[in-house]
Amino acid sequence: MQRFFFHINFTGKFITDPEGVEFADLDAARNSALRAICELAADSLAARAKFTLRSARICSEKGEVLAEIFVPEAIREMIPADLL
């Protein structure tokens, strides 16, 4: 298991993950981030609140950016194209 850190980029605000989460590999961490972004978007829509999340960066324990997932990419990957 590897520890991955999810740093969240909102409009005007960047939140770092000090603890991280263990996953088997980067693909598992990426899938978790995709789901989380879509859940946050759905919650925001349900609350009729402004959605300011821009991206989630997945970083290694050394601080290296391994992947960055932007909101449009997450939504396209999680929602079938025929429903968009």
Q: What is the pLDDT of residue 80?
A: 73
User: Mean pLDDT per segment of 10 residues, for the chain of length 84 residues?
Assistant: 96 95 98 94 91 96 96 83 71
- Full domain range(s) for residue 36: 2-56+65-83
Domain count, the chain: 1
Per-state percent for the chain, helix, strand, coil, to nearest 5:
40, 35, 30
Beta bridge partners of 56: 8, 69
How high is the pLDDT of residue 45? 87
